[in-house]
Homo-oligomer: A and B are copies of this chain.
């Protein structure tokens, strides 16, 4: 099916665009009353992720309501460790919790690689197919997965953490176990992303949410190495790599075989553009807290960011997922400011 709006894909490839495209991380989610209504009916976050019709419904909502230029499939990065053998619960206001963790060779049996993606993650693929039917070519659909390092963090730690010291401990006490686990996650992730593309994803984003807790040397060895394998393996559609907090590794990240680098709100897009040139598209990176300001504030701060761009190679987004208590009307102001902006370059 031909897409009516393919701005995001053209921006990712460095092609000509009539205006900057815009979407938001976590655009399908708690900010929308329409999402909360669907979720309340079905029970919880995980049930929603696992029910393709409803996941598709909330995926399409921000396209209808906020007018964004891309949809991103409603899912969770933790579906991958679960498919590999570690089930998780989503504990209200506490986040994910895994009963079993992987901290020894014996526990590697909970990191399976030899299974059929369709069999264990078919619900995500089904949600992608339904979403595309409902989108009817209006905008592209983004598929995604967690980066191997971030997924390892959850598999080792078993839950969120400020320091992820158990995961980082493993890099010192048993680096070969860490590499074996990262290798397995990478294999499954590549298969999973390829299945998402086959199901209809027009673009792929890989989230390395915990990139920022490693120094550059360790991130090169335990992070970038595996992102490299994923970026190299995915050729069918444009790939975005988002390594949150990894300011010191952005230049190395931009050398991987990807189209777009996601920037968090602490990264300086102007400086990074100077350093990496026109080789990659940059995605981001308005501070999500900027949307707490007045409509005028949101307009001014968004325009200021757009004015700072010196290239057409930008996909506008926030520098992190939109916070759940943001007024959806402020998001609309953000989106509309981008859409109405006249590009100067």
Whether B215 lies near A168 (C-beta < 8 A) is no
Please name all residues of chain B whose beta carbon is closer than 8 Å to the beta carbon of A44 when the two chains form the complex: none
Whether A287 lies near B215 (C-beta < 8 A) is yes
**When A288-B165, A323-B165 are in contact, do A212 and B293 touch as well, CB less than 8 Å?**
no
A67-75, A114-122, A169-177, A310-318 - the one binding chain B: A169-177
**What is the bound-complex CA distance between A39 and B161, given in angstroms?**
25
Whether B323 lies near A216 (C-beta < 8 A) is no
* A125 shortest CB reach to chain B, Å: 31
Whether B265 lies near A215 (C-beta < 8 A) is yes
* A255 shortest CB reach to chain B, Å: 18
Please name all residues of chain B whose beta carbon is closer than 8 Å to the beta carbon of A162 when the two chains form the complex: 160, 162
Please name all residues of chain B whose beta carbon is closer than 8 Å to the beta carbon of A247 when the two chains form the complex: 247-248
In the complex, A290 has a CB within 8 A of chain B: yes
In A103-143, which residues have CB < 8 Å from any B CB?
Answer: none
Q: Beyond the given A163-B320, A172-B293, A247-B247, please list 18 additional residue pairs across the A-B interface where CB-CB is below 8 A.
A: A160-B162, A165-B323, A168-B287, A168-B289, A169-B289, A172-B292, A172-B297, A173-B292, A173-B293, A212-B245, A213-B266, A214-B266, A215-B268, A216-B266, A218-B287, A247-B248, A248-B266, A248-B268
Flag A139-161 by CB within 8 Å of B: 1 or 0 each: 00000000000000000000010
**What is the bound-complex CA distance between A268 and B214, given in angstroms?**
12
